[in-house]
Structure 1
Amino acid sequence: MYRLPKEHEAIRDAVRALCDGKVAPNAAAADESGEFPQASYEALRAGDFHAPHIPAQYAGAGADALATAIVVEEVARACASSSLIPAVNKLGTMPLLLGGSEELKRTFLPPVARGEALFSYCLSEPEAGSDAAAMQTRAVRDGDHYILDGVKRWITNAGVSQFYTVFAVTELGAGARGISAFVVDKDDAGVGFGAQERKLGIKGSPTREVYLDGVRIPASRMIGEPGEGFRLAMRTLDHTRITIAAQAVGIAQGALDAAVEYMRERRQFGTAVANFQGLQFMVADMGMKLEAARQLTYVAAGKSERSDPDLGYFGAAAKCFASDAAMAITTDAVQLLGGYGYTKDFPVERMMRDAKITQIYEGTNQVQRIVMARHLLHA
């Protein structure tokens, strides 16, 4: 019978204890204010859960893909916005881990591992969302430097993060083969940020445009070789869609926990509503979908650790299934709480709003279905 290794269960217990005590209490306030949950970041940093995936040789905790998914899941159970701290640190640094030079890794990974900096990922643009290869941001070679100009949109933790993986066109007319990847520092001259987006959910994680106005950086800050950027971007997403699946699982678990607790305590017609068969059917379906999503996510995490050939399929499947499940589970949780579920006095309305983005970012679920279909039809 399949069971998680004891060390992974120990990680879950540690993250859950920390989040119950020091992250969950900040979740409602972060949602209400739309401010980055600094106290939660400090708590995650103290527990070494802010960027657990970074290898030990770069001052990191060296957590494998499954352990990292469990960390993201447990943080998301308490606060979806805070779960984007470890999730986006992995997203931003994954291109370096996959294709960066040793110099780049040793320069930029240790500050993230030590909790001194966050790392974001700049792929999308105003006119290049799902069609990422249509990006307009340019990087022009100038001696030993590149000069970057363009606008990146929907950048998670923009303005808070110190470092950014930026994808830009280095060869016009070459399509995806003309895109390269670079590390940009917030303090580089010409880097700017737009106003914070006014979002439905994950309000405690700032989302802004990133402006690149003649940003001059050393050529050594290119990740990999010229023209490898788009391939790196897609390989990165194969791995990090699993962290979004884990985030969705965590949000759904938080909603299910809240609904079960409410059903046990709420009384109508002289008995706990947990005794009503119609509601029991709902909660049973919620639990079934949640566990299926969790197991698919963990399988995908194992494939990520091994870089299996079918990782792309399983990453897309886990992200798609888990996010759809999270949206259904959180919506049902609101329904189970009735009028109370629709108020901010209970967390499930926030969780429902937070769940929605998991169906959209790192590739919409329509895109995930295209990825899966292509794998099945052309395998």
Structure 2
Amino acid sequence: MLKVMTKENFLPYTKPSINQIDIHEVTKALNSNYLTRGPLVEAFESAVAHYCQVKYAVAFSSGTSALMGAYFAANLRQQDSLLTTPNSFVATAGAAVQRGTTPVFLDIDCSSGNMDLQQLKYNLARPSSRGRLCVAPVHFAGIPVDMQKIDQAIQNPETVVIEDAAHALGSTYFTGEKVGSCRWSDMTIFSFHAAKTITTGEGGMVTTNSEDFYRRLKLFRNNGIEREGPYLQGEAAPWYYEVQHLTGNYNFTELQAALGLSQMARLDTFVEKRRQLMKAYRALLKEIPHLHLFAEDFDAYTAYHLCVVQINFNAYKTTRTQVMNRLRERMIGTQVHYIPIYKHPYFINLCGDISAYFPKMEAYYSQALSLPLYYDLQLEEVEKVVNTLKKALQGR
């Protein structure tokens, strides 16, 4: 007898955790005098800044707009180049390309899915007749990049470092500081999309220790509008403002901030539960041949956003699509993170077919599969996922 797929018995690859306190706080915000750009937004920014031990935090309407704001604050231009990974959502590179900046992709490190730092070191050492370099490492799945090594490899003081930590709120560097503290970077971006460890539905944040970047981030967020006296070209007045750049409206609402503040109170609980789930996955998945995970060495530093396994589907004489369909028939959702950015039609038109330059990314992409991972997932459900995966790989 076929099972009917319902929200109750289907295990998605991700799901936000919303409780009654979250709902109560959002309802309170709805009944307040502000719906956007109010005191809750400032309180949420302060909460994230305090958690990350960083001076400034600026909230944005999405992780993508946070990246756009960071690249604007860094004043990336056409003659500049962005060194980044192809193993990310398109916005990491796309937000820079929109500014005319040239993307330079680097292959990945097989142990983490993150940027290959040896390739980065080589590219940083190469002489360039073009403009500045911007390094945009991605903390993939929440696994932290060794930012101290990046800092040590940079030779030009004009090089800008912007961390894409969309996956990594709650992770720590190997030196002990929180990702987002900007100890080894100029700015860090976070995402609060519904799939992330904490959510505001959509939303993003940029952290920095630079007052200049902080001011430019706020300019970008609100249509390039400046109201502060020292930065005005005209005479300051209570009603007066100046549009100094054409940007857009990327403001964060009070409703998002209310949810974000409520979720921040549970962030460490969310992180710990995800680590427990990953530990259970590791123990159970060891029994499956032709399958491996990223290195266990990173677990103590990682706020896991994704549970990515790599499977040699050819060894099972099956395909990833067939396995995903079999799992879905058995009420288990999966996903692939990520299609390499350079494989998307836009980037093929921009860069040509450059797949051959990324053997490690290509090998990873052919085997990657993201299994369910979220706060409300139970340990017995992890066991169900693994047992069902075994059967799906065997064609059952």
TM-score tier after normalising by the smaller chain length: under 0.3
Which has more radius of gyration?
Answer: 2
TM-score (norm 1): 0.25
Q: Which has the higher relative contact order, 1 or 2, with Cα contacts under 8 A spaced 6 or more apart?
A: 2
Question: Which of the two has greater helix per residue?
Answer: 1
